[in-house]
Structure 1
Amino acid sequence: MSEKKKKKFKFPSAFTVLFIVLVLASILTYLVPAGSYDRLEYNKEENVFIRSGVDGEEEKLPATQDVLDKLKITVPLKSFVKEDIKKPVAIPGSYHKLDQQPQGFLKVARAPIDGVADSIGIIVFVLLLGGCIGVLNKTGTFDAGIAALSKLTKGKEFLMVAILSSIVALGGTTFGMAEETIAFYPILMPIFLASGFDAMVTIAAIYMGSSIGTMFSTTNAFSVVVASNAAGISFKEGMGVRIISLVLAQAISLWYIYRYSKKVKKDPSNSIIEEDMPRIKDQYLKDYDPDNVAPFNFRRIAMLVVFMLAFPIMIYGVMNLEWWFEEMSTLFLVVGILLIILSGLEEQDAVGSFLDGAADLVSVALIIGVARGINIILDDGMISDTMLYGASNIISGINGVLFSSVQMILFSFLGIFIPSSSGLATLSMPIIAPLADTVSLGRDVVVSAYNFGQGWMAIIAPTGLILATLEMVDVSYNKWIKFIAPLMGILLVLAIVMLGIQTVI
């Protein structure tokens, strides 16, 4: 009788991981008491504050500093008037328990649908990006470009990795480049693979560049600026510590990626994703043969230039024109049309390649929607405010360096349930920042603790971008955890040390 071979355990796909988290979020709505803070929002048209409770009742209040002071919201009036703070802020001392709002089976079943509807902007952006890439692949433009770039970077491959990662980190720290980086993977993956790196290096270079930039934000309006405004201080306070932390963290990250890439180049069996690489190479370098590529002629150069120009335009729009996914999607729709015109393909072939490219990224788009569904369950369950209330009670009375370190850990925890950096800032800062006054610490320490904590957790939080990123490059979540865990440990120590320094200076 032959022995049955034991089936090797396969880690669940990104969709399964998200549905498990979705069910866990639902269970939490049964276990964690529901509760809410009242919110205060500035109405520019009427020049009044609107105080709103969870029951839907609204109260109009004069837009004066005196009203803010009475509500113990220690934020200058001008921060609201100038729209430095656009989202409703939590009112200190207004937390009250509510009837439990459990999210049962039907709510869980509907959450992914609501999540897709709520994320339609980024989903359309991803699909249009995929369409553009489909046209470029059909015409051999990417292969020709990769071959030309490989000749230029021969012997200096990691310099390319370091430069690109640092540029992304710069975008992260200055204007919060995060979701936009999804556009980079289909472009950079074949380039990095052709240069001899494995797919994990591509993920680490882009995703960690963005994560470190946002974790150690300097002028990011979506995190450190809105958090500082909500805390009632200038975002320039604590800037020196955050800049030093950013430089150190990026240097450590590049060292970590370089060390890994050298090990893999020396012996491919050292790759954490060795068994996945044939499949990934087939996906991104299916028809690529460095000795037999299409000529990098004028048509292909023009197509690549049009496509690449979209990225600085997109970044400029986000930074200076308040663009978001609707505008970015419009940009890539125009780029897609231009690529079809320049491609020289028959109309049906060109449109077909665009649709095929979009179809390749449908799974990524759906993952984004399902992840958003988790946040909807938590919001509808009314437990996020309860967690913030509990966190504020934990840190009240703690002194000195321990105060900042515990805060960072708590913000990491809150970041799982409130992945929006601006949302967490406007909710938490009016409640937690004043606690620094009671232990004679600057509020800039609280802002840094928020920044470091949420940014650190975003590296692995399934409610954030990581699962969509991994789906884009076909790498499983457990292998990302295995790769990134040591670096996360180092970054945690760095963040705690830098918070300690900021506490005592």
Structure 2
Amino acid sequence: MMSTVNVRSEKNLKAPENQENRKLFKVPHSFVIILFIIIFATALTWIVPTGEFERFENDLGITVVNPETFKYIDSSQVNPLGIPLYIIEGFIKSADLFFLIILSGGAFNVITSSGALQAAVGKVAKKYSTKESIFIPILTLLFGLICTTQGVNLFIGFAPVTVMIARAMGFDSIVGVAIILLGGAVGFSTGTLNPSTTIVAQKLADLPLYSGIEFRIFSFIVYMIITNIFLIRYAKSVRKNPQLSPMYDLDIMDQSIVDRDLDSFGDMNSRNWLVMLSLIGTLAVIVYGGVKLNWGLIESSAAFLWLGIIAGIAAGYGPSKIASCFVEGAKKMVAAAMIIGLARAVPGVLTAGKIIDTIVYGLGSVLSTIPKFAQGMAMYIANNFINLFVTSGSGQAAATMPIIIPLSDIVGISRQTSILAFNFGDGFSNYIMPTSTALMGILGVTNIPYDRWMKFMWKMFLVWVLTGCILVFIAQMINLGPM
């Protein structure tokens, strides 16, 4: 019997008539979008005055800026002819992430070619086909909790799995990636336990480590509830009317999951169970390694390489079969990996042009003119803009905290509130910026164009910004402490 939630009527499966005629503008390829951003960053180095702060190593061994030493220096414009060099440098600096994407793609292709993942998906989709109000929050909470200490980059290789599950349940591809991106965003951006953002910022602010955690947990809960309400409503709407999905025309071109009888995916025989256990075990090892053993992307990449081999053996493949499946999957990930390398060229251009300090100094100067009741919210908004230029969380903390903390002391905002504003600004904007490696990596491996994602995401981001402003305002009003 065909599953009712997975079969679309012929009317729904047909693309809207004259769709192409109504499309007046086609969004450029992701490569083109990022290239324009690189060119814009290069132009800024010719427009924005060059400046710098003096830097020193504090008692904690962290290099910070002296906020009282900003000065303008000789111009250091970036030659547009040198843009390809910055792109190559971006590829080199992204090598660890590049290999993670390539190797995870190869491993997952071995798994999917065995049919084990499809069989598991069929069982999951049948069990939760009408329980999205339970299924979605459980997964987003899981990714959110893990990302309180880890970056969302960790789950780039897992994104095809959640997309497959979401589509088999009658949703679209966006629901699949949103489960990871939105859940992970809440965990990372609220900064509950994050060592690369919260802890670095608290060290620079001379605050007790992990202090203020109660309010950050409260923020995590608030954001998680709001995000799940938004995502569940969207998921229900696209299952009821698939044409509402920004991915509708692209998803209907791939009916390998949606239009099949879920029972036709096959049974979970012993080999399929072994393949799935290898996948679950590898993901568990990667998460444990990241949380407990301080693993980086290199170790995670090695784990995916082992996954491809072990899963192939479990599926009964010979060495040549494993190798051919792995290479085929790796080929599909090249474009996604290249996007990340391109994105890394942007901060490279701004750093070479020596205008990042000028931008930070200018935003700090503007902030001092804002009415006191709105200064916490202004800090949050300012950090969103800074995140366009300083994409590293720890790097942004080192660049901004020595300026924001003295400014907070002067205007009477607690340092803890300033760190909360930094966390929100550094985190949530990563899920709309085409220079975000986590966002572009996950969109790349799931073949979701950036413009399609933004058609879904812009409303969610506005809700996040409004929520962040309210939470920072509350923190300011209660003088969130200590300090």
Task: Name 1:432's counterpart in structure 2.
Answer: 404
Q: Distance in 2 between matches of 1:448 and 1:280?
A: 42
What is the match of residue 368 of structure 1? Answer: 340
Alignment of 1:81-100 (within 5 A): 85=62, 88-100=63-75
Partner of 1:33: 49
Partner of residue 387 from structure 2, selected from 408, 412, 415: 415
Measured in 1, the distance between the counterparts of 2:401 and 2:189 equals 17
What are the equivalent positions in structure 2 for 1:286-301 lying under 5 Å apart?
A: 289-301=261-273
Residue equivalent to 1:494:
467
Q: 2:206 aligned with 1:264, yes or no?
A: no
The offset of 1:11, in angstroms, is: 0.9
Q: How is 1:181-196 mapped onto 2 (pairs within 5 angstroms)?
A: 181-196=155-170
Post-superposition Cα deviations, 1:51-74, rounded to whole Å, max 9, x if no partner, equal: xxxxxxxxxxxxxxxxx6xxxxxx
State yes or no: 1:21 paired with 2:37: yes
> Secondary structure of 1:40's match?
strand
* Aligned counterparts of 2:195 and 2:253: Cα–Cα separation in 1: 39
Unaligned 5+ residue runs, structure 2?
1-19, 479-483
Q: Which residue of 1 aligns with 2:198?
A: 224
390-399 or 317-326: which moved more? 390-399
- C-alpha distance in structure 2 between counterparts of 1:5 and 1:165, whole Å: 38
Native 8 Å contact 1:238 1:502 kept in 2: no
Equivalent in the alignment of 1:319 = 291
Distance 1:367 1:281, change over 3 A: farther
Distance, in Å, in 2 between the alignment partners of 1:103 and 1:180 is 33
Structure 2 Cα separation of the partners of residues 197 and 6 of structure 1:
25
Query: Quick check: 1:347 aligned with 2:319?
Result: yes
Tell whether the 8 Å contact from 1:196 to 1:265 is kept in structure 2 after alignment: yes
TM-score, normalising length: structure 2? 0.90
Q: How does 1:46-445 map to 2 (within 5 A)?
A: 77=59, 79-80=60-61, 85=62, 88-172=63-147, 174-282=148-256, 285=257, 289-445=261-417
Is the contact made by 1:445 and 1:502 (CA closer than 8 Å) also made in structure 2?
yes
| 1:468 equivalent in structure 2 | 441
Distance between the aligned counterparts of 1:463 and 1:476, measured in 2?
14
| Residues 383 and 426, structure 2, Cα contact 8 Å, conserved in 1 | yes
Matched, 1:478 2:433: no
- Equivalent position of 1:65 in the other structure: none
Offset from partner CA, 1:28-72 (integer Å, 9 cap, x none): 11111122222223xxxxxxxxxxxxxxxxxxxxxxxxxx6xxxx
Counterpart-to-counterpart distance in 1, 2:362 and 2:319 = 60
Q: C-alpha distance in 2, partners of 1:315/1:391?
A: 37
CA contact (8 A) 1:21 1:374 kept: yes
The amino acid of 1:300's aligned partner reads: N
- 2:162–2:179 Cα contact (<8 Å) kept: no
Distance 1:5 1:302 in 2: 49
Q: Secondary structure at the match of 2:56?
A: strand
TM-superposed CA distance for 1:433, in Å, is 0.7
Distance 1:266 1:289 in 2: 19
What is the distance in 1 between the residues matched to 2:110 and 2:44?
A: 45
CA distance in 2 between counterparts of 1:289 and 1:123 reads 36
Say whether residues 1:12 and 2:28 are aligned partners.
Answer: yes
- Partner Cα distance (1:107, 1:288) in 2: 51
Q: Structure 1 residues 155-164 or 246-255, which shifts more?
A: 155-164
**Residue type of the alignment partner of 1:293:** F
* Corresponding residue of 2:15: none
Q: Distance in 2 between matches of 1:398 and 1:8?
A: 41
Q: Using the TM superposition, give the Cα deviation of residue 334 of structure 1 relative to its aligned residue in structure 2, in angstroms.
A: 1.8
Please state whether the residue corresponding to 2:344 is helix, strand or coil.
Answer: helix
Deviation of 1:476 (Å): 2.2
Contact 1:436 1:442 in 2 (8 A): yes
Paired residue secondary structure (1:388): helix
Shift of 1:332: 1.5
Q: Is the CA contact (8 Å cut-off) linking 1:25 and 1:377 kept in structure 2? A: yes
CA contact (8 A) 1:399 1:439 kept: no
Q: Secondary structure at the match of 1:10?
A: coil
* Percentage identity across paired residues of the two chains: 29
3-state DSSP of counterpart to 1:315: helix
Contact 2:139 2:179 in 1 (8 A): yes
TM-score of the superposition, structure 1-length normalised? 0.86
- CA distance in structure 2 between the aligned counterparts of 1:204 and 1:118, rounded to whole angstroms: 27
Aligned-pair distance for 1:287?
A: 9.9
Comparing 150-159 with 252-261, which one deviates more in the overlay? 150-159
Distance in 2, matches of 1:293 and 1:437, equals 62
Deviation at 1:288, TM superposition (A): 5.8
Does the 8 Å contact 1:417/1:463 carry over to 2?
no
Task: Verify the 8 A CA contact 1:115 1:373 in the aligned structure 2.
Answer: yes
CA deviations 1:423-467 (Å, max 9, x no partner) are 100111112111111122211111011111122321211111323
- Report deviation, 1:164: 0.9
| Residue aligned with 1:279, SS | coil
* Aligned residues between the structures: 458
| 2-structure distance, mates of 1:279, 1:324 | 37
**In structure 2, C-alpha distance between the alignment counterparts of 1:235 and 1:483, rounded to whole Å:** 37
| Secondary structure in structure 1 of the residue aligned to 2:264 | coil
In the aligned structure 2, how far is the partner of 1:374 from the partner of 1:287? 42
Alpha-carbon distance between aligned partners in 2 of 1:450 and 1:5, rounded to the nearest angstrom: 45
For residues 93 and 309 of structure 1, do their structure 2 counterparts lie closer, same or farther at Cα, with a shift above 3 Å needed?
same
In structure 1, list runs of 5 or more residues that go unmatched.
42-67, 69-76
Q: Partner of 1:197: helix, strand, or coil?
A: coil
Contact kept in structure 2, 1:14 and 1:471, CA below 8 Å: no
